[in-house]
């Protein structure tokens, strides 16, 4: 968790540096469109490996009669993935101009030419990202999560350095080259962990391996389902390319802010729970499977609902604090804040949908996530085409949130039919209490942000900080202090409200805190 938090903080630093160096401009729009292709293929291949591969890797790892075949399966998968992606990358070089026309039809000739050059620079990422996803899937099957969690640290260090140098000397092309190098570091940081588990390179490729054949059969629906989700991003950016300059960048920056709660809390939880679900399924423990599923849904709601409310209330403060400096001006901040406001309501649905998809994958059912994903994409595209005419940038973000809700409800309904029951009434009751506590917290934070801090003497503190630190550093410090006070006040009030409303997860959180304190007490006594 510490590595994840540090990685996400550095990721925000990376986005802040990019915003300061290039703003929400035509250059950043070109870079973000060029990134669609490698990110799309990574989403397809990486997610397929970590969802379809983990159950098979776990099966061959935990069953004694199959364990000797595990190395052959692992390296056969590696060679299959890298070989296919290498062909795709080579085909992408001559196809780059046509891809840019499809992905950004609203770009002018100069911006389209720049995007084409960036696509060709970024194409090696296609192969590298496949290798990253393969390594992560193998390590997760071995119940090892540290190395994948740490891989964001060297990535962000290289990216921040590259952006600073590119902003001063090389232009946006330098950012593209830094992205390729940073992505390679994500694979190499996982190599030592693979070697420690005896996973050394073997030049084997058994295309007739029975597990490989079954994985390929199950991978088809996953590829379609994940591709459908990635299609949402493509359609968003295609339509945004016809809006005001910087619209694509504003959507990207808003999604980066939204990625913070996802990366810090939701994704680590889902990553840890998914192998446990596959293990319960392998042991045919239906009760344990349902218990793990419901616990994950409840914990996700407990964490993400208050964050949703808080981010909607503090959207402008968050965007200004993270991004507004250098080339990122007040206009860019206003566009990003609007996109963030309409993206945020879909946060819980997005993470619930991801977790429910993993539950189906653990059941070795890849067709249901595919069909529900396609349905959600159809809703998203339809709403995009309608809402962009009336709400512009906000309509694209709102369509994404609405589609996430539709996909999530479909998965709930189908999973309930599959399992018989999943404790839906208890879940709804718990989420209802969490929502009440979150809304009360939101009202408090809104009042403090508007009048409460002013009544508490905040203007006096602003004057003192400005006098001693100057305008620019002082504004940054004050923005950080203001957000810290508001978040701390809101968090304390939320926990108190949940405790009064008897939200079960509060007691688990208190028990965890007590266990952590008990660990430190003996050490303190020993030192004394």
DSSP string covering 241-275: TTSSTTHHHHHHHHHHHHHHHIIIIIHHHHHHHHH
CB count within 10 Å of CB 360 equals 23
CB count within 10 Å of CB 399 equals 27
Token pair 């962000």: residue: 156
Radius of gyration of the chain (CA): 24
Helix, strand, coil fractions of the chain, as percent rounded to 5: 85, 0, 15
pLDDT tens for residues 314-337? 999 999 888 887 778 888 889 999
pLDDT tier at 527, thresholds 50, 70, 90: very low
Residue 129 is predicted with a pLDDT of 85
Q: What average pLDDT score do residues 236-258 get?
A: 84
CA dist 152 and 174 (Å) reads 20
The CA–CA distances, whole Å, from 509 to 292, 495, 512 equal 17, 10, 5
- Length of the chain counted residue by residue: 528
CA dist 132 and 483 (Å) reads 35
Burial of 471 (0-12, 13-18, 19+ CB in 10 A): exposed
Spatial CB neighbours of 401, under 8 Å, sequence gap ≥ 6: 342, 343, 344, 345, 346, 349
pLDDT tier at 269, thresholds 50, 70, 90: confident
Of 340, 336, 331, which is closest to residue 312 (Cα–Cα)? 340
CA dist 131 and 118 (Å) reads 21
Residue 520 is predicted with a pLDDT of 42
CB 58 within 8 A of CB 364: no
Mean pLDDT lowest among 381-390, 424-433, 466-475: 466-475
pLDDT at 522 over 70: no
pLDDT tens for residues 57-113? 777 776 767 778 888 888 888 888 888 888 888 988 898 888 888 877 878 888 889
Q: What average pLDDT score do residues 140-163 get?
A: 84
pLDDT at 46 over 70: no
State how far Cα 73 lies from the chain centre: 29
Residue 516 is predicted with a pLDDT of 44
State how far Cα 268 lies from the chain centre: 10
**Which one is predicted more confidently, 206 or 405?**
405
Spatial CB neighbours of 413, under 8 Å, sequence gap ≥ 6: none
Q: What is the DSSP string of 175-214?
A: HHHHHHHHHHHHHHTTHHHHHHTT--------TT-HHHHH
CB 27 within 8 A of CB 114: yes
pLDDT tier at 458, thresholds 50, 70, 90: low
Q: What average pLDDT score do residues 371-395 get?
A: 91
Residue 525 is predicted with a pLDDT of 44
The CA–CA distances, whole Å, from 183 to 38, 177, 205, 220, 432 equal 11, 10, 25, 26, 41
Q: What average pLDDT score do residues 180-185 get?
A: 93
pLDDT at 36 over 60: yes
**Which one is predicted more confidently, 5 or 305?**
305
CB 264 within 8 A of CB 5: yes
CA dist 520 and 528 (Å) reads 13
Q: What average pLDDT score do residues 161-176 get?
A: 87
Q: What is the mean pLDDT of the chain?
A: 82
CB 308 within 8 A of CB 438: yes
CA dist 395 and 386 (Å) reads 8
Could you give the 3-state DSSP secondary structure of residue 10? helix
pLDDT at 460 over 80: no
Token pair 């339509």: residue: 239
pLDDT at 509 over 60: yes
CB 479 within 8 A of CB 319: no
CA dist 507 and 11 (Å) reads 32
CA dist 269 and 147 (Å) reads 16
């Amino acid at each position: 968790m510490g590595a994840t938090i540090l990685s996400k903080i550095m990721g925000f630093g990376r986005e802040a540096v990019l915003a300061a160096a290039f703003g929400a401009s035509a250059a950043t729009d070109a870079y973000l469109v060029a990134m669609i292709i490698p990110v799309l293929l990574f989403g397809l291949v990486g997610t397929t490996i970590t969802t379809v591969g983990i159950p098979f890797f776990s099966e061959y790892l935990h069953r004694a009669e199959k364990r000797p075949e595990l190395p052959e399966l692992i390296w056969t998968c590696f060679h299959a993935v890298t070989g296919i992606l290498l062909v795709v990358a080579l085909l992408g070089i001559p196809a780059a101009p046509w891809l840019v026309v499809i992905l950004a039809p609203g770009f002018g000739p100069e911006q389209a030419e720049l995007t084409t050059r960036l696509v060709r620079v970024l194409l090696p990422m296609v192969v590298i990202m496949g290798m990253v996803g393969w390594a992560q899937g193998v390590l997760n099957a071995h119940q090892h999560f540290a190395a994948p969690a740490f891989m964001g640290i060297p990535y962000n260090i290289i990216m921040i350095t590259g952006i600073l140098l590119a902003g001063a000397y090389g232009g946006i092309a330098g950012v593209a080259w830094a992205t390729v190098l940073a992505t390679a570091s994500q694979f190499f940081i996982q190599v030592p962990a693979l070697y420690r588990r005896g996973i050394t390179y073997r030049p084997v490729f058994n295309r007739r391996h029975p597990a490989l054949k079954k994985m390929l059969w199950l991978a088809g629906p996953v590829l379609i389902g994940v591709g459908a989700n990635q299609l949402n991003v493509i359609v968003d950016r295609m339509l945004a390319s016809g809006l005001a300059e910087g619209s694509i960048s504003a959507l990207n920056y808003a999604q980066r802010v939204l990625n913070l709660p996802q990366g810090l809390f939701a994704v680590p939880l889902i990553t840890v729970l998914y192998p446990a679900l596959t293990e319960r399924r392998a042991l045919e423990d239906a009760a344990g499977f349902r218990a793990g599923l419901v616990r994950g849904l409840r914990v996700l709601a407990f964490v993400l609902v208050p964050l949703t409310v808080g981010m909607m209330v503090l959207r402008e403060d968050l965007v200004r604090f993270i991004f507004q400096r250098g080339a990122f001006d007040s206009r860019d901040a206003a566009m990003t804040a609007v996109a963030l406001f309409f993206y945020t309501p879909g946060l819980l649905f997005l993470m619930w949908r991801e977790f429910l998809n993993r539950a189906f994958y653990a059941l070795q059912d890849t067709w249901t996530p595919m069909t529900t994903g396609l349905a959600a994409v159809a809703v998203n595209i339809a709403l995009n085409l309608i809402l962009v005419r009336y709400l512009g940038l906000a309509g694209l973000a709102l369509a994404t949130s609405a589609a996430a809700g539709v996909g999530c409800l479909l998965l709930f309904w189908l999973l309930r039919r599959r399992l018989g029951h999943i404790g839906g009434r208890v879940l709804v009751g718990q989420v209802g209490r969490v929502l009440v506590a979150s809304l009360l917290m939101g009202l408090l934070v809104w009042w403090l942000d508007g009048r409460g801090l002013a009544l508490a003497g905040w203007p006096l503190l602003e004057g003192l900080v400005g006098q001693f630190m100057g305008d620019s550093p002082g504004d940054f410090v004050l923005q950080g202090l203001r957000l810290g006070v508001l978040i701390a006040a809101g968090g304390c009030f939320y926990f108190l409200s949940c405790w009064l409303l008897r939200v079960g997860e509060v007691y688990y959180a208190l028990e965890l805190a007590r266990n952590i304190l008990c660990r430190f007490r003996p050490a303190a006594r020993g030192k004394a």
